[in-house]
Amino acid sequence: MVEKIVGGIVVALLTGVGRLLWANRKHLSLLWVLFTPFGRARVSVAVLLRVYDEDHFVLFASANRPGAFGPPGGVVKYQESAKRTLERLGFEPEGRNREVMKHDLRGFLGALRVLGFARWLSKETDRETATDCLRRELVEELGEVGHEELIPLAREVGFRSARRVIDGPLKVPGENYRQIRFFDVYDLVPDKPEAVRLRDALLELAADADEQLVIGVNRVEIARGRAQTHVVLPQSAFLAGDKRFREDLTPAS
């Protein structure tokens, strides 16, 4: 009798674990949250643009990390229609620079809500598409690096997915939460003259020694985190693979 009860419990547990793994098969790296039910997580969702020629990747100067360079791109924004879902998940938008970061998918969740957030995210509803996010960010960042002449080209190009990376969970030094970052990496689609011209122009800028706000780096420099006197931001690693080499830099306040 006891053996049957124990056997039934074991079968129920294994069935429950199997269902849990299947429901979260796209996000198995996030299952750590089940062991930290009272913890917190900082989540962010971003799209990066990969412009490259063999081992030569284009990076832009960072607006909020002086002296550092990273891939063009930025944080995805959610739509008004997502507010009810995000509130149900307990999503707390990050508080700094509220005007610029309004509707950014960047904030805090209770640890047990992370899997639900990841499943909602994978539906790709009630938020910017990767293409819309990239086009918006690229137009903005071309202005920040002083090349407004390329903005008309950026408004015409299309993008193609290269990889998706879930970065984390990572312990953040000095903080009481872990960080999880969802990255989509996209390439320019060279199917229009505008796309070819934009790609060629960015590669030329990156190769120009006199250009101060657009640089080119190779895989070794990405791994080292430095290209001559420039700091290379850690997320640049996702242009070449799905693993980072270093912790994030704290943004300027």
89-127 pLDDT per residue, tens: 999 998 665 666 789 999 999 988 888 999 999 898 999
Whether 244 is in a domain gets the answer no
> Which structural domain range is residue 87 located in?
30-239
Whether 222 is in a domain gets the answer yes
176-232 pLDDT per residue, tens: 888 899 999 999 999 999 999 999 999 999 999 999 999 999 999 999 999 989 999
Identify the pLDDT of residue 37.
52
pLDDT confidence band for 7 (50 / 70 / 90): very low
Whether 249 is in a domain gets the answer no
**What domain count does the chain have?**
1
Whether 250 is in a domain gets the answer no
Identify the pLDDT of residue 28.
45
Whether 21 is in a domain gets the answer no
- Taking alpha carbons only, the member of 196, 135, 185 closest to residue 160 is 185
Q: Which two tokens stand for residue 237?
A: 């690693």
Whether 122 is in a domain gets the answer yes
Among the ranges given (23-32, 95-104, 151-160, 183-192), the one the predictor scored with the smallest mean pLDDT: 23-32
State which H helix or E strand residue 134 sits in.
Answer: helix 130-144
pLDDT confidence band for 65 (50 / 70 / 90): confident
Quick one: what percent of the chain has pLDDT higher than 70? Answer: 80
- Do 52 and 29 contact (CB within 8 A), yes or no? no
| Dist. CA 31–CA 235, nearest whole Å | 23
Prediction pTM value: 0.82
CB atoms within 10 A of CB 58: 24
DSSP string covering 139-183: HHHHHHTT-GGGHHHHTT-EEEEEEEEEEEEEEPTTSSSEEEEEE
In sign, the C-alpha dihedral spanning 82, 83, 85, 86 is: positive
Whether 18 is in a domain gets the answer no
Whether 193 is in a domain gets the answer yes
Residue bearing the bigger pLDDT, 248 or 113: 113
E-strand stretches of the chain: 40-50, 57-61, 68-70, 73-75, 92-93, 106-110, 158-171, 178-189, 214-217, 226-227, 230-232
Angle at the Cα of 168 from the Cα atoms of 166 and 173, rounded to 5 degrees: 150
Phi and psi at residue 61, to the nearest 5°: -65, 140
Identify the pLDDT of residue 12.
38
Task: Tell me which amino acid residue 232 is.
Answer: V
CA 74 vs CA 12, 19, 47, 131, 182: distances in Å = 44, 34, 6, 11, 11
| Dist. CA 138–CA 132, nearest whole Å | 10
